[in-house]
Amino acid sequence: MLDTLVARYAYPRARVCVLCGRNCYRFLPYRGQGHASLPSMIAAIGIVGSNLDQFECPWCGCHDRERHVFMYLVSAGILADLTGKTVVHFAPEPHLLKCILKAAPASYTPCDLLPSAAGIQRVDMLSMPFADASVDLLIANHVLEHVSSYQLALAEVLRVLKPGGSAIIQTPFSGGLERTWEDPGIVSDIARLQAYGQEDHARLFGRDIFREFASSGLVPLVKTHRESLPEFSGSRFGVNEDEPFFLYTKAQLQEGD
Ligand SMILES: [Zn+2]
């Protein structure tokens, strides 16, 4: 509680939460420890994901990855262009959910494999109940490191997207790893924490993540923070500047298809 009060009221209150609009002295660290909570191997190879040291807004409780994807959606003009669109949102973050509803899409389906709140539909990303080419925007923010097969999940994303539709698939990865690694023998919480960085992760993506994602057939429109949000400092807005915008699209049909 003291940490929260300090984070809210200490000076200078130079940081800004883009989701609640409030200023703060700092964002709260992940699990109270931030970067220090990472297992030593994960810390040694480095991981591009959340900003663990500036993680949670002391006012509204939103996490850095929710702020970042919101900023990316605004900068790409996607949020302003949702009127009449069909949106599917996996593991829906509560603040982002409200922003999307405000943008008046024709249809909005918040979904999760294990819904934690009323109104969230139970959907397996590996077998979605949506028709082919029926979705304009699909958001799965930090989901693909949890699913049992990211290849199947990406094939489903490609299937349900309309040609020209967008998929936002933010995923943590280690630039220090040449190849994504997972092993079916790593199943216990402690083993997954040590091997992949979190108890419920099924793999640790390496720097081949971009090649892997593109091999699904989705067309990458990935941008860096600097390209998308050049005027927004990561420390002021509590986001990880190393986390790129994982924006993908489905190619428009070619003549003769
Ligand atoms: Zn906030």
Domain at 77, CATH number: 3.40.50.150
In a domain, 45, yes or no: no
In a domain, 255, yes or no: no
In a domain, 15, yes or no: no
Q: 10 Å Cβ neighbour count for 11?
A: 6
In a domain, 32, yes or no: no
Instruction: Supply the pTM of this predicted model.
Output: 0.95
Distance 3 CA to ligand 1 centre (A): 15
In a domain, 254, yes or no: no
Contacts (Cβ under 8 Å, ≥6 apart) of 196: 42, 145, 182, 186, 202, 203, 204
Domain that holds residue 134: 64-231+241-249
Distance 233 CA to ligand 1 centre (A): 16
User: CA 197 to CA 48: how far, in whole Å?
Assistant: 11
In a domain, 82, yes or no: yes
In a domain, 5, yes or no: no
Distance 11 CA to ligand 1 centre (A): 17
Contact 20, 59 (CB under 8 A): yes
Distance 156 CA to ligand 1 centre (A): 33
**Coil vs helix vs strand at 36:** helix
Q: Which long-range contacts (CB under 8 A, 24 or more apart) does 211-215 make?
A: 212/150, 212/180, 213/154, 213/169, 213/246, 213/248
Number of domains in the chain: 1
Q: At what angle do helices 64-75 and 94-102 cross, to 10 degrees?
A: 20
Per-residue pLDDT of the chain (257 residues; tens, 9 = 90+): 899 999 999 999 999 999 999 999 999 999 888 888 889 999 999 999 888 888 999 999 999 999 999 999 999 999 999 999 999 999 999 999 999 999 999 999 999 999 989 999 999 999 999 999 999 999 999 999 999 999 999 999 999 999 999 999 999 999 999 999 999 999 999 999 999 999 999 999 999 999 999 999 999 999 999 999 999 999 999 999 999 999 999 998 766 55
Distance 162 CA to ligand 1 centre (A): 33
User: CA 229 to CA 124: how far, in whole Å?
Assistant: 32
